[in-house]
């Protein structure tokens, strides 16, 4: 479809997106997220046990922002190596309001669907809590660029 508005520009092997919403609609980004949402929840919870799994899944497959965050988590190379001990360490270090509970002898993250807490697990699993070596300050971030491997 051609119109007078430019949504993206390709130049020298780079794609510059000028209108994110139109670009995502053009390439059916949300449709792809929705079609894979339930499978993505299953993949993530295969590695990270969650209690209130049905509520977690319902929220994750009903909201586009959750679907995008979950898709990001599912592609992380560390996902299969993260342990509950790692998660507990982050919860303690950053004083997060996330509970780990025992369920049939297995420690699991408690998903709380309240608006104040529903994002906590996804931010935790996406490694959104970081600390500065120089200042010792702790941050919750929404975008990260690795500086070393």
Banded model confidence at residue 49, pLDDT cuts 50, 70, 90: very high
In the predicted model, what is the mean pLDDT of residues 70-92?
91
Task: With respect to residue 3, please indicate whether it lies within any of the assigned structural domains.
Answer: no
Helix, strand, coil content of the chain in percent (nearest 5): 45, 15, 40
Query: Domain of 119?
Result: 17-140
Banded model confidence at residue 145, pLDDT cuts 50, 70, 90: low
Task: With respect to residue 103, please indicate whether it lies within any of the assigned structural domains.
Answer: yes
Residue 30, SS3 per DSSP? helix
Task: With respect to residue 147, please indicate whether it lies within any of the assigned structural domains.
Answer: no
Banded model confidence at residue 149, pLDDT cuts 50, 70, 90: very low
Is a pLDDT exceeding 70 seen at residue 2?
Answer: no
Find the largest Cα–Cα distance for the chain. 61
Q: Give the C-alpha separation, 2 to 17, whole Å.
A: 16
Is a pLDDT exceeding 70 seen at residue 143?
Answer: no
Is a pLDDT exceeding 90 seen at residue 148?
Answer: no
Is a pLDDT exceeding 80 seen at residue 51?
Answer: yes
Chain segment 13-47, per-residue pLDDT in tens: 998 888 877 777 776 767 777 778 888 888 888 99
Chain segment 84-127, per-residue pLDDT in tens: 999 999 999 989 999 999 999 999 999 998 888 888 888 999 99
Q: What is the DSSP string of 76-132?
A: -TTGGG--HHHHHHHHHHTT----EEEETTEEEEEP--STTTTTHHHHHHTT-EEE-
pTM metric for this prediction: 0.73
The answer to whether the CB of 75 falls within 8 A of the CB of 65 is no
Candidates 116, 149, 127, 69; CA nearest to 141 is 127
- The total domain count for the chain is 1
Task: With respect to residue 79, please indicate whether it lies within any of the assigned structural domains.
Answer: yes
Task: With respect to residue 10, please indicate whether it lies within any of the assigned structural domains.
Answer: no
The answer to whether the CB of 103 falls within 8 A of the CB of 51 is yes
């Amino acid at each position: 479809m051609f119109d007078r508005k430019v949504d993206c520009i390709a130049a020298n092997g780079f794609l510059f997106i000028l209108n994110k919403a139109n670009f995502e609609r053009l390439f059916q980004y949300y449709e792809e997220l929705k079609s894979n949402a339930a499978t993505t929840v299953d993949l993530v919870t295969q590695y990270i046990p969650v209690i209130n799994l049905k509520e977690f899944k319902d929220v994750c497959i009903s909201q586009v922002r959750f679907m995008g965050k979950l898709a990001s988590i599912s592609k992380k190379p560390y996902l299969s190596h993260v342990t509950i001990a790692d998660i507990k360490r982050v919860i303690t270090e950053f004083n997060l309001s996330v509970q780990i509970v025992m369920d049939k002898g297995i420690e699991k993250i408690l998903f709380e669907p309240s608006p104040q807490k529903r994002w906590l697990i996804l931010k935790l699993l996406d490694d959104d809590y970081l600390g500065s070596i120089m200042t010792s300050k702790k941050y919750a971030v929404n975008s990260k660029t690795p500086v070393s491997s």
